[in-house]
Amino acid sequence: MKRGIVFLITVLILLSAENTLAFEITYSKESYQPQELFQAKITGNFISLKENNIFIYKEGKAHPEPLIKDMTKQKNIYYFYAILPNEFGNYTIKIENAEYLERGIIKSETISKPLILELKNQSDLYINPGFIIPKKDFSIKVKSLFGNTDLKAKFELTGEEKILNLVEQKEETITFKLPAIPPQESKITINDYEIPVFLIKKLNDSFYNLEFIPAFIEGIVIPSNNYNFMILIKNPTERVLRNISFSSNLEVVFNPEKLETLEQNKTAFINFTIKIGNTDKNISGKIKANFDKEEFYIPINFIITKNESEVNIADSTNANLANKSTSLSCAQLGSICPEEQICNGNLVNSIEGNCCIGTCEEKSSSTKIAGIILIVLLILIIIYIIIKIRRNRNLKSPEEILEEKNTRYKKRMSNEVRGKLDNI
């Protein structure tokens, strides 16, 4: 009986781990009221995910009521919010037509999670927006969904506070000042709600950013082993990023340890090995990419097991991601070079064929000259072959030569005889 229970628990742990390897949707609450602020964090190896891919369904149909919603991606986490429909019941949040990477394969299957809307005799809040990315002083709209209530809002970064008395269903606006401080993440607490605030540095109308595929490293591993991985790092900006270095708070070996340049809208492969020590405790850490005083992270979470059959690692290059790239489009990896250009970098397979992980450059003049010389030589060889064939066709057999000489002799003799007869 005990063995059966242990086996069942093990299976459930493995199944739950398997499900979290691809993606995870985390709600800010277990249940909501109609018109309440809904917030969710979405993590996963998404290649394409926008707010228009996220729908609220009721009874199998997308809810027709227009929704206020938005989404942002910050350090590989998608923050989504929406003002919920004004109708209670059992709903479903669905992510549709969004591409994500699972074990090196691109998938776009629908992702769904139940959502409960119920009427409550408590003062839940309508809050809009559900996150802030400010460029200047900003404001937030709030109202109480049930009964009058006191509201306390605090900007954690500056300590600025606002206190209001909300009348049921009457919308109020609260305003906060934006401080002149370096980029960082903070929040505004409004009663029991937390509104993320992302202060982002902007340079030449282009945000610094990096995208990673996969967006996180997770799995079940055994101690005293090394695990190899490969990630794709993409520069989605219109700027050339330089001197990108990699580090970790875990024991990780990188190859290369540094990217000198990463061109705009280009992608590079980074290999790394994570060394798991002799431990029986689960491991959490991160990989950090640094450049120009900016930092970006890839979370790492490993469950430790001593049973080798339970080992389960997402996107480990025990099955090399370079080979898995055949499941990716070249637009996600790099670019296809035109015929008149060559790849200055690595060529990998993609859905469209050979894909250049690097830059496409014009062929050098020496290469062009060599190409021209080869073409000229080829033409000369063809001409030589044609002439030789024609000459061979003009060659005559000994019998034909003898017959031709005999004909000429007879013709000459006939002319001589005719000449003598004319002189008589």
Class of 121-200 in CATH:
mainly beta
Residue 368 pLDDT class (50, 70, 90 cuts): low
Residue 327 pLDDT class (50, 70, 90 cuts): very low
Residue 5 pLDDT class (50, 70, 90 cuts): very low
Highest-confidence range of 56-70, 125-139, 403-417, by mean pLDDT? 125-139
DSSP-derived secondary structure for 78-103: EEEEEEPPSS-EEEEEEE-S--EEET
Class of 22-114 in CATH:
mainly beta
**CA 159 distance to own-chain centroid:** 37
Task: Provide CATH 2.60.40.1930 ranges for the chain.
Answer: 22-114
Tokens of 318: 């025990």
The reported pLDDT for the residue numbered 374 is 83
Average of per-residue pLDDT across 129-140: 89
% of the chain at pLDDT higher than 70: 75
Q: Could you tell me which residue, 105 or 4, shows the higher pLDDT?
A: 105
**Amino acid residing at 357:** I
Walk across the sheet containing 125-128 and list its strands. Answer: 125-128, 138-144, 172-176
> What global pTM score does this model have?
0.49
CATH of 206-319, one of 1.20.1260.10, 2.60.40.420, 2.60.40.10, 3.40.50.720: 2.60.40.10
Please provide residue 357's backbone torsions phi and psi, each rounded to the nearest 5 degrees.
Answer: -95, 85
Lowest mean pLDDT among 81-90, 280-289, 384-393: 384-393
DSSP secondary structure code for residue 187 in this structure: E
The reported pLDDT for the residue numbered 392 is 65
Average pLDDT of the chain, as a whole number = 78
Neighbours of 149 (CB within 10 A): 18
Tens of pLDDT, residues 187-214: 999 999 999 998 875 433 344 577 787 7
**Amino acid residing at 326:** T
Query: CA–CA separation, 245 vs 281, rounded Å?
Result: 29
Close Cβ partners of 213 (under 8 Å, ≥ 6 residues apart): 45, 47, 101, 231, 232, 234, 332
The reported pLDDT for the residue numbered 350 is 67
Helices (H), 93-201: none
Q: In this model, does residue 142 exceed pLDDT 90?
A: yes
The reported pLDDT for the residue numbered 386 is 82
Close Cβ partners of 345 (under 8 Å, ≥ 6 residues apart): 334, 356, 357, 358, 359
Tens of pLDDT, residues 7-23: 444 444 444 443 444 57
Task: Provide CATH 2.60.40.10 ranges for the chain.
Answer: 206-319
Tens of pLDDT, residues 221-277: 899 888 888 888 888 777 888 899 999 999 999 988 888 888 877 778 888 889 999
Residue 126's nearest CA partner among 83, 79, 188 is 83
Tens of pLDDT, residues 75-117: 778 999 999 988 888 999 999 988 877 766 778 888 999 998 9
DSSP-derived secondary structure for 365-396: HHHHHHHHHHHHHHHHHHHHHHHHHHHHHH--
Query: CA–CA separation, 25 vs 214, rounded Å?
Result: 16
The reported pLDDT for the residue numbered 369 is 72
Q: In this model, does residue 320 exceed pLDDT 60?
A: no
The reported pLDDT for the residue numbered 336 is 79
Task: Provide CATH 2.60.40.2030 ranges for the chain.
Answer: 121-200
